[in-house]
Amino acid sequence: MFPFDVVLFDIGGVLLTNGWDHHERSIVIEQFKLDRDALESHHAKAFEAWERGELALEEYLDAVVFYEPRSFSREEFFAAVCAQSKELPNGALCILKELAASDKCRIGALNNEARETHEYRVKTFGLHNFFQQTFASCYMGIRKPDPKIYQRALGILGDSPERSLFIDDRLENVAAAAAVGMKAVRFTGEADLREQLRALDVL
């Protein structure tokens, strides 16, 4: 019998580059010649609410960038944000595709991301072709590593923690999943993940 009923992947840092992390913000800050300290300060106050779905894109952009007149539009800025999303080098996208093709268990996502960037990334990279369930913080109203996001996902799935596998690149998120009883592995690269999944009889 296959060892898990469901395998849940983080997206940023596992399948794709991060959507709007420090590196991505640095590139966009330079592109638009923005004040780095000011943007980072405003971002720090607003991004968790945006990722929990409490702020819409327009509200986030108003709080972080467009609180004063700019020479560029919101559409131009958000297009630059989206342009930072790429397939992660040495990432797990090929493993996701293999597991989905095997049809041995359900495949899903459990990630922290704002609705607008999440939906852009899922559509652009065709992730909806592989995920049967998607648990994004913007829909769940909770962010990892809050244990409630894992518990709610399991409740919706109807699966027991021990029959659920979670893959994430951040240690605190892996530890939180393990604390609620899930099998959780930390992603550090494709080869290492393949080795861990073979040890678990997943591949």
Task: Report the pLDDT averaged over residues 186-198.
Answer: 98
Identity at 110, one-letter amino acid code: L
Class for the domain spanning 6-17+87-199: alpha beta
Q: Are 40 and 34 in contact (CB under 8 A)?
A: no
CATH T-level assignment (fold) for domain 22-83: DNA polymerase; domain 1 (1.10.150)
* Per-residue confidence band for 134, with pLDDT thresholds at 50, 70 and 90: very high
- pTM score, two decimals? 0.95
Q: Are 177 and 151 in contact (CB under 8 A)?
A: no
Beta bridge partners of 7: 107, 165
Measured distance CA(119)–CA(144) in Å, rounded: 18
Domain boundaries, the chain: 6-17+87-199, 22-83
Residues 46-103 have pLDDT tens digits of 999 999 999 999 999 999 999 999 999 999 999 999 999 999 999 999 999 999 999 9
- Tell me the percentage of the chain whose pLDDT exceeds 90: 100
Measured distance CA(61)–CA(149) in Å, rounded: 26
